[in-house]
């Protein structure tokens, strides 16, 4: 009874020994292949390529004046994609050696971007990088208030005029961000009247039917130190029929020419010898069926205050209008210059009499038409007094361009 357990234990030991001996040969295999989970297994290899994105991942106030850059060490880039939250992609260029990528333009301000980049090392192992950053929003901005309005139809003398909300010191940068094109094509040049005003026009009046497009690409353009534009938009307008008028204040008549033919002749009264009318080419910039005219607004004291001047069309910023007149004797029209500088046509109070000259001329006119005043006895209106750049020669106009 004592010997049996010993034999059994020996038998168990013998079996264990045989299993260990056989396991050693089986686990290595006849060809020496290690078993799964053995000490001979290898970990996946990692790409040696290291990708760096600028601005860095997580940046909350990244620069919008510098391009986005992606670089790789120990490898070459195979793909770079930079998109904003609307899915718009920021284009860029890969370097010749494939180690760098630079966006063609700086990112927009106040915008979140996602960067996805991949690269291969010398062993063709792939590395990838995903980064998200948001650009800063400028504290100081400016806009350009433009005329004419989008979708409008205007006369042949209408320039594109832009008034900026803050003074521009980098005129070249701002002008380069603004394009005016015409169909049919014609040379169009910008002219700076001041740090806040830039006008564009061709050498001669627009041809009737011309389609003009203003392309404003001012967003993030630094107009002055630390002051950035905010606009990126297109504005289009059409030139209507070709109508110009000549107001001869010696003959006291207004001759209207439409599409090359004289369409009307009206008797007028211009500025008196004490208050002569500006001479030169003046563009209609505003139209009012009725408006109030008060002499105090043009520094003439209390000489007049008329609440309902009919059919008034502005010719200069300083207060020159061509308008209807119901309060003066009919004999002055075509006979005497008696106004305070405006040009008057016979009209009726209330602006409803379609038979009057004031009514007829107003109805035939549009913003952008040119009224040229001759024989007024006064000097030529300043080119920046209203939309009146046509009083500047082409060479002088081009000299005022910053590009």
49-91 pLDDT per residue, tens: 999 999 999 999 999 999 999 999 999 999 999 999 999 999 9
C-alpha 302: how far from its chain's center?
44
Extract the tokens encoding 172: 């070249």
Return the higher-pLDDT residue of 25 and 115.
115
Q: What secondary structure does DSSP assign to 22-52, as a single string?
A: HHHHHHH-TT-PPPTTSTT--PPP----EEE
> Looking at the predicted structure, is the pLDDT value of residue 375 above 60?
yes
pLDDT bracket for residue 31 (50, 70, 90): very low
> Looking at the predicted structure, is the pLDDT value of residue 160 above 50?
yes
81-93: b (≥16 Cβ within 10 Å) or e: ebeeeeeeebebe
303 contacts 355 by C-beta, under 8 angstroms = no
- Per the document, the length of the chain is 403
CA-CA distances (angstroms) from residue 209 to 26, 205, 219, 313? 94, 12, 31, 23
206 contacts 239 by C-beta, under 8 angstroms = yes
pLDDT bracket for residue 37 (50, 70, 90): very low
Measured in degrees and rounded to the nearest 5, phi and psi for residue 397 equal: -65, -50
Cα distance between residue 122 and residue 125, in whole Å: 7
Residue 42: the pLDDT is 66
Cβ partners under 8 Å of residue 361, min gap 6: 245, 254, 256, 264, 266, 311, 322, 345
Cβ partners under 8 Å of residue 398, min gap 6: 189, 191
Measured in degrees and rounded to the nearest 5, phi and psi for residue 137 equal: -105, 125
Every domain of the chain and the residues it spans: 50-134, 140-240, 243-387
This prediction has a pTM of: 0.82
Query: Do 50-134 and 243-387 fold alike per CATH?
Result: no
> Looking at the predicted structure, is the pLDDT value of residue 260 above 70?
yes
131-170: b (≥16 Cβ within 10 Å) or e: bebbbeebeebbebebbbeeebebbbbbbbbbebeeebee
367-398: b (≥16 Cβ within 10 Å) or e: bbbbbbbeebebebbbbbbbbbbbbbeeeebe
- Of 33-47, 52-66, 219-233, 350-364, least confident by mean pLDDT is 33-47
User: What's the mean per-residue pLDDT of the chain?
Assistant: 90
CATH topology of domain 140-240: Immunoglobulin-like (2.60.40)
263-317 pLDDT per residue, tens: 999 999 999 999 999 999 999 999 999 999 887 777 777 777 889 999 999 999 9
Q: Name the architecture of domain 50-134.
A: Sandwich (2.60)
72 contacts 101 by C-beta, under 8 angstroms = no
Residue 356: the pLDDT is 98
Residue 301: the pLDDT is 75
Work out the average pLDDT over 251-262: 98
279 contacts 382 by C-beta, under 8 angstroms = no
Measured in degrees and rounded to the nearest 5, phi and psi for residue 10 equal: -65, -40
Residue 15: the pLDDT is 40
Residue 298: the pLDDT is 76
Residues classed as catalytic = 323, 342
Residue 294: the pLDDT is 85
Tell me which CATH homologous superfamily contains domain 243-387. Answer: L,D-transpeptidase catalytic domain-like (2.40.440.10)
């Amino acid at each position: 009874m004592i010997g049996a357990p010993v034999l059994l234990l020996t038998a168990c030991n013998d079996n264990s020994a045989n299993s260990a001996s056989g396991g050693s040969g089986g686990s290595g295999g006849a060809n020496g292949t290690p078993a799964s989970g053995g000490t001979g297994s290898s970990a996946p290899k990692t790409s040696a390529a290291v990708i760096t994105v600028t601005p860095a991942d997580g940046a909350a106030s990244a620069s919008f004046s510098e391009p986005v850059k992606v670089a790789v060490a120990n490898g070459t880039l195979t793909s770079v994609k930079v998109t904003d939250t609307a899915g718009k992609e920021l284009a860029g260029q890969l370097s010749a050696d494939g180690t760098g990528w630079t966006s063609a333009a700086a990112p927009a301000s106040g915008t979140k971007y996602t960067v996805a980049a991949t690269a291969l090392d010398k062993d063709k192992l792939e590395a990838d990088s995903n980064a998200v950053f948001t650009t800063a929003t400028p504290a100081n901005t400016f806009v350009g208030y433009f005329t004419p309005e989008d979708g409008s139809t205007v006369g042949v003398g209408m320039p594109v005029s832009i008034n900026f909300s803050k003074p521009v010191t980098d005129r070249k940068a701002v002008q380069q961000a603004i394009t005016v094109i015409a169909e049919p094509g014609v040379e169009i040049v910008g002219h700076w009247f001041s740090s806040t005003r830039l006008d564009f026009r061709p050498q001669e009046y627009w041809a009737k039917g011309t389609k003009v497009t203003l392309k404003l690409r001012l967003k993030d353009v630094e107009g002055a130190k630390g002051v950035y534009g905010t606009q990126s938009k297109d504005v289009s307008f059409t030139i209507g029929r070709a109508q110009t008028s000549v107001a001869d204040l010696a003959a006291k008549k207004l001759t209207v020419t439409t599409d090359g033919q004289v369409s009307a002749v009206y008797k007028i009264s211009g500025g008196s010898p004490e208050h002569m009318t500006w001479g030169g080419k003046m563009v209609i910039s505003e139209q009012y069926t009725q408006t109030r005219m008060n002499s105090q607004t043009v520094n003439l004291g209390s000489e007049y205050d008329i609440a309902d001047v009919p059919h008034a069309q502005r010719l200069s910023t300083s207060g020159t209008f061509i308008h209807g007149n119901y309060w003066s004797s009919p004999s002055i029209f075509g006979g005497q210059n008696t106004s305070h500088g405006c040009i008057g046509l016979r009209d009726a109070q209330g602006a409803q009499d379609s038979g009057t000259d004031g009514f007829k001329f107003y109805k035939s006119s549009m913003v952008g038409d040119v009224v040229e005043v001759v024989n007024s006895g006064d000097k030529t209106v300043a080119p920046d007094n209203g939309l009146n750049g046509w009083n500047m020669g082409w060479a002088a106009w081009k000299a005022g361009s910053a590009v």
